[in-house]
Amino acid sequence: MDLLAFDAYFFDFDGLLADTEPLHHKAYQIFLKRRGLILPWDFTTYCSFAHQPTEVFAKVMFDLFPSLKKESSDWMVLREEKQAIYQELIMQEPIPLMEGAADLLSYLSKHQKPLYVVTNATRRQVVAIRRHQPLLNIIPHWITREDYHASKPAPDGYLKALEQARELCGKTHCRGVGFEDTLRGITSLKGAHLTPVLIVPNNYPQPNPSALKDTYIFHSLKSLLPT
């Protein structure tokens, strides 16, 4: 892949630029501990479920913990509490960047490439993390969960960002590339007709290549940089 061949560059945030997944894992542990429950998953197992569509993750959680469904059959209601716990955690400690994120963003910025973040995270969550990672301010364009209708794997967020990119570059057809760390993210990129790149660290569950037709796969953002 010719890294500099695109008109615009679109990035997911959680688990792609910012190493937030361990805190999401911890937030679920706290959420369950408040109810006298124990999450039986190590980090890798957690990621294998958390990277699935929301309805799949919800079913797994309800199957593991039937008492949660008695509390509320709407997973999104329960998830709000977990999100509040996560917000408290990210306010307490800096979130490190993923391997290669700083170098890749600096490299693309040096070549004056338009950079966008498209994330399911809320604006409040993003602001909390950016406060401790000023390098992220290299990215001028941020699309958070409040800015579009349907979350990933729907393409809405990327379509919103692509609309902005077309206006910026003055082209009807803007050749864009997107970077994600989940299959649902890749589905979102493909729905927006962006070149999809999946980043899967070696310690994360490895996807089945048959599900990733026409997708570039790397183990870190650092791998994208010229040697």
pLDDT digits (tens, 9 = 90+) for 70-119: 999 999 999 999 999 999 999 998 899 999 999 999 999 999 999 999 99
- pLDDT for res 179: 98
pLDDT digits (tens, 9 = 90+) for 19-41: 999 999 999 999 999 999 999 99
| 175-184: average pLDDT | 94
203 versus 198: which is more confidently predicted? 198
pTM: predicted TM-score of the whole model, two decimal places = 0.91
For residue 216, with 0-12 CB atoms within 10 Å meaning exposed, 13-18 middle and 19 or more buried, which class applies? middle
Across the chain, mean pLDDT equals: 93
